[in-house]
Structures are given as C-alpha cells and as structure tokens.
Structure 1
Amino acid sequence: MREASAPPPAYSLKPDGKRIGMTQSTASQVGRFHAGRISEGLPRALDAWCVTTDDVATATRIADLLGGEVQPNEADGGLAYEVLTTHESVRVLVDGPDALASDLILWRGHDVVHHCDGVDFLSPEEKKGQPCGCPRLLEDRKTEAKRGSGPSPSIDLIFRIAAAPTLGEFRFRSGSWKLAEQLGKLDEALRHVDGPAMCELTLELVLYTTKMGRHVGYRKPVLTVLGSPDTVPAEPPPTAEPTPPPASSGPSRRTNRSPGSTAPALTAPPLSASVDVDTVLLRRAAELLGTSGHQETVTAALSTVLESKHHSLELERLRKQVGHIASIADQALRGESSPAYRSEDTIS
C-alpha cells in the first residue's frame, strides 16, 4: 500500500504528557508489515500480514517463516518484493517504549497541514512548541478527524521478528484509533520488561452488527506485550488436535467433593446420536468455508468476507447457529452430553 513519507521528527507520546524524541534509522530497516495493500488500483484490507522488502533473500525467509510466496510488489513507490503471508499473528521483539512512536497528522493530498502531539505543534518549525488546539478527549479528536477538520493518529512500531531476529528491523505504521487508545498501557508494559520485550502483533478480527442490522467485520492491529524473551518462546507452541475421549459402556457420574479435594477421574460418556448429528453440522460448515478445526470454523462462519450470494445466504444461517455450534464443539471435545438437537438447526 502506498505510503507518504512521514514528516520529521517523530515523537513518542508518554502517559505523563512529555515527549521523547525518537530516532528511527530507516537504513537499518529491512522491510515493512502491512494490514492492507493496493489491488487493481483499490485499497484492500487483508486477513493476514503482508510484508514488503527490497531484499529478495529477506522476502524468501519471510515466506519460509510466515507462509505465502515471494512476488513483485506492484504498488507505486513501494519496496520491490511482497509476501502475502498466511499468518494473522506474529511474535516480535520490541526494544522498549522508544520503539513505539505516535503523533497526530492531518494531510491535504500530499501536504501536511497539521502535525502535533495532541498538545503542541511538532511542525512546521515556525509553529513548533505552540499549542495545537486539539481537543483533550480522544472521542472528540476522532469526531474532528471524521469531519476532516482534525488530525488522525500516525503510529510507528519498530521491531524484529522473534523467530529470526538477525533478519533486521521491520516497521509497521498504523492510523488505528483503537491502537492509539492503548498507547499508554503499552508504554507502561514495555517499561516493565528489562530489555527487549516479546510481543504479539496481531490483525484481530472484530465483528459487530450495525444499526441497520448488517453484519460487519474488520481487522484491527493489536500489540500485546507478553514478557521477557527469557521466559516467553519466540513462537507459540503448536496446537495439537484434541483426542476424542474413549467411549464407555455407561453414563458418566459426577461426585460431590469438598473444596480443595482432588477431582476423581470421570468416565467419558458415549457419543450420543445428537452429538453425531452436530459433528456432521460442523463438518458441513467447514466444507462450505474451507476451514479446519472447530474454532476456525466458528470464526469463519461469522466472517462477512464471502463472495457469492449463495454463500451469503449460508452465512446468515450459520450465524444463527454459531453459539450452538461452539457449545456443541466444546462439550463434544470434553466428552459431555450435547444439548438436544432441533431439526430447525439443520444447515441445507
């Protein structure tokens, strides 16, 4: 996605209102992470990270780590190579709070007409240090930004990929108000880690229903501080497929026990006919959505990114049953009895 060059200098906003200058050397940065890209001349949001770089070896390594294939980057003014990864979440190393910078910018075409930290102007030089006049409340700032009369966040994060830190530094730039709301907490969390912090950089799926009853989904960037690299692995442990509990000849029994006592071993109940039918329901939903695993199926069922009208109709029916599906999946995996299955729940 085409990015205009950021006006110097960049500053990190601290909870106490003080600014700390932040020097981000672009010479040491080997690539960028993107939540969207330009496709056929139009901006397109992505469900997984896109990484761009000028170095083909770096691009190849990214594809090995995060999936996808190396391809030319067709965006005007962009870096030479692009990898559309298959990962929506990546563990990264952030070198303290100074690796996260934020200011407020209002653009008119390619020109910056307002650049501040929410209190004082940061540029141009003749206005630097003077009160900018922005509202103090974040909601009021968002309102002005939507009207086009106020600046929006410009957040820069510099990091290394935890699984391959020697690749060098990558950059992610965001104008997300949701991420801007978390800057104070992120600053505090990064300060509590002695040295580089292990973090999770995620494109989190957000689903909601509009006032008109339309179901909408989008991805928001989320940075989560996990702790020290000494205690947090560079990659999350693999998720193993759960093993179905063995069938028994009789129903399970639950025994009352006093607080603090050891729970007795429970005999798993046989899978009832209702669970078998519900398993078919999950499998048919997975076939329709092209997913694997119950959690992924339920998440995809809520997504609005389906192309055909037929799929959209199926999606509406899936949404009505998502709570039922999730409950059934959880109970079946734990070997518990499923609630009664109703004929009207069937997906056709």
Structure 2
Amino acid sequence: MTQSTTARVGRFHQGRLSEGRPQVLDAWRITTDDVLVATRVASLLGGHAQQNEGGGGLAHEVLTNRESVRVLMDGPGAVTARMVLWSSKGIIHDCDGSAFLSPQGKKGQPCGCHPRLEDKKLAAREGRGPMPSIDLTFRIAAAPMLGAFHFMTSSWQLTAQLSDLMEALERVGGPAACDLTTELVALTTKTGTNVCYRKPVVKVLGNPDIVAPDPPRTAAPVPDPKPSAPRRRSKSTYESTTPPTPSTAEPACSVSVDAATLRRAAQVLGTSDHQETVIAALSEAVARRQQTVELARLREHVGRIAAIARQALPDGDSSLT
C-alpha cells in the first residue's frame, strides 16, 4: 500500500509520557503544531489545548474525553500497513507480511515471514520477526476542514482485522464515515491475573451523506440536583418533547430559548455549557432527518447561535456559562 501524501495537521494517541513513564489513557489524546487546530479539537471533543509535555514531538496536545471519534477515511488508500523489525542501526526488515517493501534491491522478493498471524506474533515476541506498523489517515467528521490527522499503531488485533477493514472501505466507494475507538479489553490470564488494556478499533459506518458526523456523547453527566432526573436523552424523551413535522412541509429546525429549557437540556444531554447543548441538540435533530450537509453548515455558525442564546437568558442566570 502507498503512504498517503496528504499533509497532516495532527496525530491521535492512546497514551502519553507522565514523569518519564508511559501512561495509557482512557480517551483519545491529540497532538498538533497548530494552536488553532488544538483549540478547535478541544471544543469538539472535550479537554483543552495545552503545551505538549506528553511526547510525540508536536507543540500542543488535547486530552479529550472521547473514547470514540467519528472520522472520514478516503477509501483503502487511507490505510498503510507494513511489518518492520528494528535494530540499533535502524530498520533491518521491512515487508508487507509476504514480500519485502525495502530496500529497493529486495523489493517484491519473498520476505520469509510466517504465513500465520500467530506465528508472526511469536517470532516478534522472541525478537526474530517484525512487528506491525499501521498508519491510518483521516479527517474528523464534525470538522473536516481542519485537515487530515493520523494514528499509528502496532496492534496485532487491528492487524488481524485489516483485510475486513480494507474491504469495507472499498465497498463504500469513496470517503467513508468510521468510528475510531480506543476500546477497553479486560481479561484474566491462565495464571489468574486480571489484565486490562486498550485496543484500537475501526468500524466502517458507510457514506458520510447518510451518517451523522458525531457519535453519541460519552462524557460524564452534569451533576443533577434531582437524582431521579434522567442523565442521558433517550429516544422516547426526544420524541415526546419535539413537535411532529407536518409531512407536507420541508423538514425544519426551530429553537425556542429560555433558561429553564436550556438547563434541562444540559442535564438530559450530559453537556456542560450552553454551546455544547446547542451543538448536541442540532446534531440530534439534523441527524434524524439525515441532513448532514446542513449540520456541517450549522456547526460553522454555532458561535452565533450560542451568542443569541446568551442574550436570551436573564442577566442574573449564569448556570450555562
């Protein structure tokens, strides 16, 4: 596979360095050299832009609160996969699992790797064989104009699923909406030891024209003074509070702004400020009508919508600011 030549503005990570030690994270960490990109990522995925002290070589990082991020992958060409073995002198083996990719004099020749994945894993564990090196290139579905990001991993689990991933991307026949997830795995070893780790998972959803640009929110809910009140919005809650749209009219979204409604919406949606509440409400309403193009336009103007919401609130009400 050929490495994408698209300029990339940032990188996704499953971990970082903390006081010199590797730290596995429960949500995606994103690094970039562009502070404006970092700020926009934080507004979309949670967290805040800060100086990168966790490794990765780029100037800024965002520790998001998202385990899953909806992304756009431009077909099979967005995936680069190879098997690499390093030594103190650099790369000494570079193949695609069956034939050499480099050096040029050996390119295309059989590499001698075991055909079975389990045998490949054993050889790598013993230092006799190469490890996977997978590079995914994608854009964030909710803000594709930010540019391309990438994620690099040596996950054997993702390696085992590469064939299915490539076929799924090929079937879409163009840019594909996908969920990129850092999934928690908990297991007990044969010796009775409990082990937890995170594995990357890519789920291809389909054409972005018919897939909402954001997955369901998984952020921690806002504290609720009434314990019996729902923390997350269910389908029945949404349908019971939204007036039906006449079948003879064009689908439309209307917003009636008042402090009590916005407070309750924040509690039900699990959002922490008025802007997140507006974004989440618009996402849900537009997604139900499969108007993702319109949603992208609305997201660009969400600042204006939030400003209108603030003006509509009583001067003394700061609960959503």
Question: Which interval holds the TM-score relative to the shorter structure?
Answer: 0.5 to 0.7
- Equivalences for residues 1-348 of structure 1 within 5 A: 12=1, 22-25=2-5, 28-75=7-54, 78-109=57-88, 111-237=90-216, 239-240=232-233
Structure 2: which amino acid aligns with 1:228?
N
Spell out, residue by residue over 1:206-239, the C-alpha distance to the aligned partner (whole angstroms, 9 max, x if none). Answer: 1101122121111100000011111111013555
Whole-angstrom distance in 1 between the partners of 2:123 and 2:92: 14
Residue 76 of structure 1: how far off its partner (Å): 5.6
Residue 140 of structure 1: how far off its partner (Å): 0.3
Structure 2: which amino acid aligns with 1:79?
L
Report the RMSD for the aligned CA atoms in angstroms: 2.1
Whole-angstrom distance in 1 between the partners of 2:205 and 2:140: 14
Whole-angstrom distance in 1 between the partners of 2:26 and 2:89: 28
Whole-angstrom distance in 1 between the partners of 2:143 and 2:107: 40
Indicate the larger mover: 30-39 or 119-128: 119-128
Structure 2: which amino acid aligns with 1:90?
V
Whole-angstrom distance in 1 between the partners of 2:112 and 2:78: 27
Whole-angstrom distance in 2 between the partners of 1:221 and 1:32: 14
Structure 2: which amino acid aligns with 1:60?
T
Q: Secondary structure at the match of 2:15?
A: strand
Residue 40 of structure 1: how far off its partner (Å): 1.3
Spell out, residue by residue over 1:312-339, the C-alpha distance to the aligned partner (whole angstroms, 9 max, x if none). Answer: xxxxxxxxxxxxxxxxxxxxxxxxxxxx
Residue 101 of structure 1: how far off its partner (Å): 1.1
Whole-angstrom distance in 2 between the partners of 1:84 and 1:39: 13
Spell out, residue by residue over 1:34-80, the C-alpha distance to the aligned partner (whole angstroms, 9 max, x if none). Answer: 11111111221111100000000000001101111111112566100
Spell out, residue by residue over 1:74-101, the C-alpha distance to the aligned partner (whole angstroms, 9 max, x if none). Answer: 2566100011111010000000011011
Whole-angstrom distance in 2 between the partners of 1:199 and 1:190: 9
Residue 181 of structure 1: how far off its partner (Å): 0.4
Q: Percent identity?
A: 57
Q: Secondary structure at the match of 1:160?
A: strand
Measured at CA, do residues 232 and 242 of structure 1 come closer, stay the same or move farther in structure 2, by a change above 3 Å?
closer
- Paired residues in the alignment total 225
Measured at CA, do residues 30 and 243 of structure 1 come closer, stay the same or move farther in structure 2, by a change above 3 Å?
same
Whole-angstrom distance in 2 between the partners of 1:229 and 1:68: 26
Indicate the larger mover: 87-96 or 126-135: 126-135
The runs of 5 or more residues in structure 1 that have no matched partner are 1-11, 13-21, 245-291, 294-348
Larger relative contact order (CA 8 Å, sep ≥ 6): 2
Measured at CA, do residues 77 and 86 of structure 1 come closer, stay the same or move farther in structure 2, by a change above 3 Å?
closer
Indicate the larger mover: 232-241 or 62-71: 232-241
Whole-angstrom distance in 2 between the partners of 1:110 and 1:50: 30
Measured at CA, do residues 61 and 110 of structure 1 come closer, stay the same or move farther in structure 2, by a change above 3 Å?
farther
Whole-angstrom distance in 2 between the partners of 1:23 and 1:134: 22
Residue 158 of structure 1: how far off its partner (Å): 0.3
Q: Taking structure 1 as the reference length, what is the TM-score of the superposition?
A: 0.62
Residue 184 of structure 1: how far off its partner (Å): 0.5
Whole-angstrom distance in 1 between the partners of 2:203 and 2:46: 22
Indicate the larger mover: 100-109 or 152-161: 100-109
Residue 125 of structure 1: how far off its partner (Å): 2.0
Measured at CA, do residues 83 and 77 of structure 1 come closer, stay the same or move farther in structure 2, by a change above 3 Å?
closer
Spell out, residue by residue over 1:280-333, the C-alpha distance to the aligned partner (whole angstroms, 9 max, x if none). Answer: xxxxxxxxxxxx99xxxxxxxxxxxxxxxxxxxxxxxxxxxxxxxxxxxxxxxx
Measured at CA, do residues 60 and 197 of structure 1 come closer, stay the same or move farther in structure 2, by a change above 3 Å?
same
Q: Secondary structure at the match of 1:60?
A: helix
Structure 2: which amino acid aligns with 1:107?
W
The runs of 5 or more residues in structure 2 that have no matched partner are 218-231, 238-266, 269-321
